[in-house]
Structure 1
Amino acid sequence: MKFKQIETFRVVMLTRSMTLAAKELHTTQPNISRFIAQLEAETGLHLFERKAGRLTPTAEGDAFYQEVQRSFLGMDALENSVRLIRQLGTGTLRIGAVPSIAMSVMPKVIQVFRKRYPDTPVSIHTNDSPTVAKWTATRYCDLGLVSYLVDTAGVQSSLWAQEQGVCIVPVGHRLAKKRSVKPSDFDDEPFISLTQGDGTREAVDAAFNPDRRKLILDTPYAPTICRMVEMGLGVSVVNPLVVRNMSLPGIKVLRFEPAVQFARHVLIAQQHTESAQMTAFMRCLAEI
């Protein structure tokens, strides 16, 4: 596969038109068609359906586009870095964090850090663990805080903390009277999960064998799962960090066995320059 083919595919997906893609890439429509045909031939994927003059991505096309978007993150991160440097200079501390951290413990860390460095601008960027890792590798973010590790070149990691996952059920649920639950207690129960591909979900799913849950809902955000459980939409197994930092009067928290570990990791770029602010922020993490 050549970069021009990938770039062409990405623009066609964004514009949903080979004519508009040709204008965007300053080329001709036949060239766009040729690049797409070459890409389909080389990958063996059927990327688009052409119906009534309209271009519609296939399921294979949508899946391939998600992978292409991840590959373009590095370039987008560089562009954003240039913009931030122009706007804010080099003194801004940029932190990448997954939602379960950004929406729970992060405000407490910032509060402690602010007392020591009241004038240092801090910018928080939130996404999933693979994206935060890429942001850190490209040094778009000075630090990355993730819930699981992925193989990303250019970053080094350290374990920040690790806790055993807990089961959450609505108050009044049949399981709410228990002190602890096991996988068989979830038979035929509507279960709310993190999205497919999330490393933390994989750890939770591995505890259910055989799996007799009703997997009815999934979301990338653990705080959303907690709210859905509180509303009676299902049950789940989540990171206790999230539960502790939310007001959830409609939820009962139960011990879950076998233990599912929820970890938190700190990422830094392998080739990084550690500033006094960055060192201080890492100390604040250790204190929380």
Structure 2
Amino acid sequence: MEVVKCRSFTKAAEALHITQPTISKMVKSIEEELGVVLLNRSGKHVEPTDAGLAIMNQAQLIVNSFDSLSSDLADIVQLKKGEIRVGLPPMAGARFFPKVIGEFRREYPLIRIELIEDGAKTIEKGVESGSLDIGVVVMPTDDDLFQSFPFVRENLMLLVYPEHRLARRSGVPLEELSEERFILFREDFALHDRIPAACIRAGFQPQVVFESSQWDFISEMVAADLGIAMLPETICRNLDSRRISVVPLAPPGIPWHLAMIWRRDAYMSYALREWIRFARERLQLR
């Protein structure tokens, strides 16, 4: 392209800062590979043959594509664009992430965040399979498979109807709940397993009467005196104390520890790296 532009091997060599024999050898190599003569060298100036003109048109497209690719890569490296698939459980998503996501979008408007809301167990499987880049789960998780950073350390609180026999207690041991009707999260949520497991350790199998994927619906069923439930401290702060009584569980209680996880062996885009850094800075461990 430079030889055709300059109409001279010598001037092309000067423009490209390489020797004239090097350019001549490279052009000759292309001609031999394609089996055509690309440049007419017989006149005062070097001119492209018909085949040379055809090559020029294609060569320009190749150079344009390479320039575009270089620009796209620069955008990604400089965090101007990208996509992150983030899995969030309903309780964590509603309470902790709207502000973080809003600040991230303002700073990196061309990075698209796709939010997938589901239970923590399903999110963990998604991160493991690669359908999600990163997700929030209830700890503990597999440290050999995932990298993580924790950002919440809370306990579950007991929710009862205001006229319930336990409503005014300062603490309730799990074993006192053996005759109660439990309202749980559905099976793809981590608490679906954690709460019954804690009850079994306390000596009884809980009687589950309802299951739901929405914490606000669970709390409303408690307010309707349909059973008891357990929700994290953070969520309980937003409940109407006139309609629902929140009572601590006696030690050791049931922990609710959240962490953001991503696969140890997965490729990490620049956008994902920056999201992790950004979220880690803003989600103070509580």
TM over 0.5: yes
Residue equivalent to 1:257 = 250
The answer on whether the counterparts of 1:146 and 1:265 sit within 8 Å (CA) in structure 2 is: yes
Measure, in 2, the Cα distance between the counterparts of 1:151 and 1:278.
Answer: 19
The answer on whether the counterparts of 1:164 and 1:262 sit within 8 Å (CA) in structure 2 is: yes
Deviation of residue 249 (structure 1)?
A: 4.7
Deviation of residue 274 (structure 1)?
A: 4.2
1:266 to 2:256 alignment: no
Residue equivalent to 1:156 = 147
The answer on whether the counterparts of 2:184 and 2:191 sit within 8 Å (CA) in structure 1 is: no
AA matched with 1:129? A
The answer on whether the counterparts of 1:129 and 1:150 sit within 8 Å (CA) in structure 2 is: no
Deviations 1:219-266 (A, max 9, x none): 244333222212221112222232235566521111101321111011
Partner SS state of residue 167, structure 1? strand
Measure, in 2, the Cα distance between the counterparts of 1:171 and 1:200.
Answer: 24
Residue equivalent to 1:143 = 134
Residue equivalent to 2:89 = 98
The answer on whether the counterparts of 1:186 and 1:212 sit within 8 Å (CA) in structure 2 is: no
AA matched with 1:135? G
> Once the two structures are aligned, what percentage of the paired residues are identical?
22
Measure, in 2, the Cα distance between the counterparts of 1:155 and 1:171.
Answer: 42
* 1:173-192 map, 5 Å: 173-192=164-183
Q: Give the TM-score normalised by the residue count of structure 1.
A: 0.59
The answer on whether the counterparts of 2:81 and 2:111 sit within 8 Å (CA) in structure 1 is: no
Deviation of residue 145 (structure 1)?
A: 0.6
Partner SS state of residue 177, structure 1? coil
Task: Report the structure number with the largest CA radius of gyration.
Answer: 2
AA matched with 1:273? S
Q: Give the TM-score normalised by the residue count of structure 2.
A: 0.59
Gaps of 5+ in 1: 1-88
The answer on whether the counterparts of 1:129 and 1:149 sit within 8 Å (CA) in structure 2 is: no
Gaps of 5+ in 2: 1-79
**Alignment RMSD:** 3.0
Partner SS state of residue 226, structure 2? coil
Measure, in 2, the Cα distance between the counterparts of 1:107 and 1:223.
Answer: 17
Deviation of residue 96 (structure 1)?
A: 0.8
Residue equivalent to 2:121 = 130
Partner SS state of residue 168, structure 2? coil
Deviation of residue 100 (structure 1)?
A: 2.0
Indicate which of 279, 282, 286 corresponds to 1:281: 279
Deviation of residue 213 (structure 1)?
A: 4.5
* 1:55-94 map, 5 Å: 91-94=82-85
AA matched with 1:168? L
